[in-house]
Structure 1
Amino acid sequence: MASSRPPSPTSRTESPFGLGYFSVPFERFAREESDWAGAFTLLDTMETFFDSHIDLFQRTLQKQLQKHSDRLKLKAEEALKLRELSGDALVENMEREVKNFKLKVSTRMTVLAASWQSAKVVRTREKLSFFFGVMTLLFSALMFGTDPQWIHVAYTVLGLYLLPLRAYTYKKRAWHYFLFDLCYYVTILNFIFLWVFPSSPTLFIACYCLSHGSLASAVITWRNSLVFHDSDKVTSLFVHIYAPFTFTTIRHFYPDAETRFPALREVPHLNPGKALLLSGVIYVIWQTLYWKFVLIDRRAKIRSGQRTTSFSFLLNDKRGVIGRSLSSVPEAYRELAFMAGQLVYAILTELPAVFLLYKSPFWSGVFLIAIFAVSVWNGGGFYIEVFGRKFEREMEALRKELAEASARSSGQSSPAGMDTPRTKSTDDLSDGVSPLMISTPLPMDSQDSFSSLDTTEAKKDQ
């Protein structure tokens, strides 16, 4: 362009104004005196204006490009560092992160478990269980006296609440193989009859006989206890006693039962042979499934002690009649002997229902009261004996603590160089410490919830 060409030296000397006051374009205008000079001067001014703005825009763009470049370079460096951690270093880093995560989860679970097992939570849980058990008993009695047609509904609702809770707690304790026992199998059959096939006489006969046979007698065999504060014992008692209670109500006390359960029209009387045969077939089906899926497919876990079944529990119970009897049988035939014994036991316990209970409301009521009385007696024994032994241990520990404290205080108070007077023995102290023990509060663990009892005693009475 013309404005970018430098002026000649002669023009600099001939200019009257000099370069210190005017720009080069203005010198050219004064020298040439042309009409086009104004236009060139405007063009030069516009070029200078746009050149400055373009330069500013370029610098701004360069800064942004530099920032973006720095950002990309940083990401590249991070990617390079990550690539450098490949192989064993990367695996080690990942393992460390996984371990840290597992540690955090384990710590959190430990805190939650400690909170769940804290004294306050346990006491609240047991109070709720006690309230639930007492109110269930009260409402069951009221429904039986006023609206017996609701008994099977209450049976279903309680089962839908208690049985999933039992499955969860047993799974957590690795006792879930007990859920394959006959009582849960019969409970499921009862629900199927009540809500799916109420017109099936075959299913009704099997459910009635098994509920009054194996389930009801298990209150005696397994020492079910009416212990309201223990939800596990309440669930066991519900499974074994509410089924015969429900079917007794349907058979003898349900108003117009044939309308709701049409199967009763076809079974006005029980044929003993047919009833025992049908219930026996249902039992054999369960026993076959149990033998295949538990005793065969899970044999390794059971033998290793990872899982416990009713068979292994009774076999290891050397104080019980069943455990002593099975111990005398060769190991290769113990399972067969146990299953055959269970079949005989099931048939024998169904005889009262087949020959007496089905046709007599009076003896059905006596039977239920007798079974319930056994559970109440077991519950009373649990409260008296277990709590009594617990209280005795606390008292003995308190006597020893008081005796040691008395001995220490006597030794510290005796003057130097003199014989220490004889301290009272533990027996002597126990004879004269009754007022002190009465006024002294028990340790916190004795004031704690009922779940602090011996686990062995609780398991034995379960």
Structure 2
Amino acid sequence: MSSSDEELDAVLELPELGRTHSQVQVYENLFGNLNVPLQRTHSLMSDILEEESEIQSLQMEINESVNFVQKEIKQVEDKFKGQEEKLSSAKQGVREKFKKKKQDLLKKINNAKTRRQFDKITFYLALIMIQYKSFVLGMNPDNGVYILNLILLVLLLIWRNITYRLDNSHYYMMEFCYFANVILYTFIFFFPENRTLYLACFAFCCGPVGWALALVGCSFVIHNVNQLTSIFIHFTPMVLMMNLHWRTQYNEDRGWKLYDAKKDEFGWEFIKDYYKSAITVYLVWAVLYYLLVYVILKNRITERNYTTLANYHINKNSSVGKFIMKLGPNYQGLMYVGSHFLSVMVIFTVTLASYFNMWVNIVIMFLASSVSIWNGATFYMEYFSKKYEINLKKLEETEVDTDKSKSKKE
């Protein structure tokens, strides 16, 4: 029992006359004891109110800061929007200028007089280069022939890149045959002792790259740089790899190290290494091609109307194009790369026989090149002799009409 309770009981026991003074004292003590927690409660409440007011003031400061930051962000965004608009307009202006220059350049190239002179020069240089390459192949088959062909390849690819960009076809240069050429010269000049690259280069160059002369329909048209470049890209790697395999590797005085294919023997172990090497290097191209053409650069190709080999077949509605689109546009890339892989695998298998038999290698090269020569003969006899001058006259008439329209405007 507390002391206050005891005092209260004591007061109640007093007679009524004696209660008054004691009662007052007890009440004072009792209410005095109750006043202490009330004071504490009051002070706590005041502290809470002060803290709440501080919190409210902090919230107001935070809101003001947030509003300020939002205003600053909006101002920055507005500035960037203005800069983006300026940048996009500047880009558009550059593109328009480029298109105009491209059109002017195309007009100059397609000028009848220029075209005729250019075709003459191309014809002359092509025959001179065929003679010179044959001479170098016989005189210096171990070194000079590879250096000469590398120089020619670089020059032809530079020219092709320029001309293909004029008609939005430069993405053709991401196809497998270009990759195979890069791998071949990388092997010859940087990793000539690498067995994986040696086997892959033989499978590529004496296989699908060389076979493309017949399968793609290349034509040996001597006056046309575009046709000559295609012949060079497909036929030269086959010649170089054949020379490397059957001639260069047997010459101990060549002056540079080279993987020795003489120690290879036909068997399951070699077959496994052959396919492993060819497929591994091939997949480097296949993965890169798919990612670039169908993922990373897909929108760029579509927006700018660039042409790829797959799109060419699709627009032409060829059997290849129909097969590529069999599962719809979403699977176009997988169908193209997958069908390409299956076709080269078949050719890799046939090419395997060329590795151990020189005459099989020669016959395949002869057949592939014969088809391209026949295509060229067909072009000259059935098309060129009839339509070359007609096309040039059309160009001249177009030039005259253009000049007349310009003079009328002036």
* TM norm structure 1: 0.58
What pairs up with 1:289-328 in 2 under 5 angstroms?
Answer: 289-304=288-303, 306-318=305-317, 320-328=318-326
C-alpha contact (below 8 Å) 1:219/1:237 kept by paired residues: yes
What pairs up with 1:102-121 in 2 under 5 angstroms?
Answer: 114-121=107-114
| Structure 2 runs not aligned, ≥5 long | 1-94, 397-410
Q: Distance in 2 between matches of 1:358 and 1:250?
A: 12
What pairs up with 1:435-454 in 2 under 5 angstroms?
Answer: 445=393
C-alpha contact (below 8 Å) 1:228/1:234 kept by paired residues: yes
What pairs up with 1:129-168 in 2 under 5 angstroms?
Answer: 129-149=122-142, 150-168=144-162
Q: Which amino acid aligns with 1:221?
A: L
| CA spacing shift, 1:283–1:121, aligned 2, 3 Å | same
2:374 is aligned, of 372, 377, 381, to 377
* Residue aligning to 1:70: none
2:209 is aligned, of 215, 233, 243, to 215
| CA spacing shift, 1:299–1:134, aligned 2, 3 Å | same
Identify which range, 198-207 or 115-124, moves more after superposition: 115-124
Q: Distance in 2 between matches of 1:126 and 1:269?
A: 49
* TM norm structure 2: 0.65
Q: Which has the larger radius of gyration?
A: 1
| CA spacing shift, 1:138–1:166, aligned 2, 3 Å | same
Q: Distance in 1 between matches of 2:160 and 2:263?
A: 34
* Residue aligning to 2:84: none
2:328 is aligned, of 323, 327, 330, to 330
C-alpha contact (below 8 Å) 1:219/1:241 kept by paired residues: yes
Confirm whether residue 264 of structure 1 aligns to residue 260 of structure 2. yes
Q: Which amino acid aligns with 1:349?
A: I
Q: Distance in 2 between matches of 1:344 and 1:254?
A: 32
| Structure 1 runs not aligned, ≥5 long | 1-101, 395-442, 449-462
* Residue aligning to 1:390: 387
Q: Distance in 1 between matches of 2:304 and 2:105?
A: 28
* Residue aligning to 1:200: 194
C-alpha contact (below 8 Å) 2:180/2:204 kept by paired residues: yes
Q: Aligned pairs, how many?
A: 298
Q: Distance in 2 between matches of 1:103 and 1:205?
A: 48
Q: Which amino acid aligns with 1:292?
A: L
Q: Distance in 1 between matches of 2:251 and 2:201?
A: 16
Q: Distance in 1 between matches of 2:320 and 2:101?
A: 44
Q: Which amino acid aligns with 1:326?
A: I
Q: Distance in 1 between matches of 2:374 and 2:146?
A: 26
Confirm whether residue 125 of structure 1 aligns to residue 125 of structure 2. no
State the Cα distance separating 1:381 from its structure 2 match.
1.8
Q: Distance in 1 between matches of 2:221 and 2:141?
A: 25
C-alpha contact (below 8 Å) 1:209/1:279 kept by paired residues: yes
State the Cα distance separating 1:114 from its structure 2 match.
4.3
Confirm whether residue 247 of structure 1 aligns to residue 241 of structure 2. yes
CA deviations on 1:209-245 (whole Å, 9 max, x unpaired) are: 1111221121122211100100011001100110011
* Residue aligning to 1:345: 343
C-alpha contact (below 8 Å) 1:257/1:264 kept by paired residues: no
* Residue aligning to 2:275: 276
State the Cα distance separating 1:143 from its structure 2 match.
3.2
* Local SS of the residue matching 1:207: helix
Q: Distance in 2 between matches of 1:341 and 1:444?
A: 40
Q: Distance in 2 between matches of 1:347 and 1:156?
A: 27
Q: Distance in 2 between matches of 1:267 and 1:181?
A: 33
Q: Distance in 1 between matches of 2:287 and 2:140?
A: 40
Structure (1/2) with the larger helix percentage: 2
| CA spacing shift, 1:383–1:447, aligned 2, 3 Å | farther
C-alpha contact (below 8 Å) 1:205/1:275 kept by paired residues: yes
What pairs up with 1:39-188 in 2 under 5 angstroms?
Answer: 114-149=107-142, 150-188=144-182
C-alpha contact (below 8 Å) 1:251/1:257 kept by paired residues: no
Q: Which amino acid aligns with 1:135?
A: I
| CA spacing shift, 1:279–1:106, aligned 2, 3 Å | closer
C-alpha contact (below 8 Å) 1:224/1:378 kept by paired residues: yes
C-alpha contact (below 8 Å) 2:325/2:331 kept by paired residues: no
C-alpha contact (below 8 Å) 1:151/1:249 kept by paired residues: no
State the Cα distance separating 1:295 from its structure 2 match.
1.1
| CA spacing shift, 1:170–1:105, aligned 2, 3 Å | closer
Q: Distance in 2 between matches of 1:444 and 1:206?
A: 45
C-alpha contact (below 8 Å) 2:203/2:348 kept by paired residues: yes
C-alpha contact (below 8 Å) 1:269/1:358 kept by paired residues: no
